[in-house]
A = this chain, B = another copy of it.
Amino acid sequence: MSGRQSPSGLVLVNAGDGRGKSTSAFGVILRMLGRKKKVALIQFLKHETGQWGEAPALKRLGLEPIKTGDGFTWTSKDLDETRARALHGWEKAQAIIVSDEYDLVVLDEFTYLMDFGWLDADAVIDWLKLRKPPRQHLLITGRNAPADLIDYADTVSEMVKIKHAFDAGIKARAGIEF
């Protein structure tokens, strides 16, 4: 077993290509805020000025999401800029994690930074093993989670797409998909 032993803070990963990775993270955040726990949410690829349905509701609950992206989703006009912003996001996340001010830190869409080769997964995991406060929960979302991250995590759910309205030509709906 190379996993962590009896941690007081859990490492959770929402993986897979189906819907529900980020929305499930928002649900966990809702539960934590409902229990008056402190939560930090870092959204890695979303544009810093983008309007997402979750943001106003989270703000009403006292949580301001930290967006570090440039609007990149699957195509970027300036990949150097996208990459630089993502890496800057990781630096922000590291500072938030080591501050030990939060009961839960959510790194939304963080797997892509490792999947794209912008960050080395082993270096990230080694850093987390060394620096993440033991009591702190950490929740990471995104497709193509590295095997070593799966191994490191305590709980991993894979969201599998059985069918999606997109495939039937039905457009995304405000409130449901974003």
Contacts and interface: CB of A to CB of B under 8 A. Distances in A.
Interface in A1-17: 3, 6-7, 10, 12, 14-16
A20 B175 CA distance: 18
Given A31-B52, A160-B158, A20 B15 contact: no
Q: How many copies does the complex hold?
A: 2
A99 interface: no
- A-side binding surface: helix, strand, loop or mixed? mixed
Contact of A104 (B37, B58, B175): B175
Contacts of A34: 52-58, 175
A168 interface: yes
Contact of A176 (B31, B52, B55): B31
Contacts of A176: 10, 12, 28, 31-32, 104, 137
A60 B30 CA distance: 11
A168 B154 contact: yes
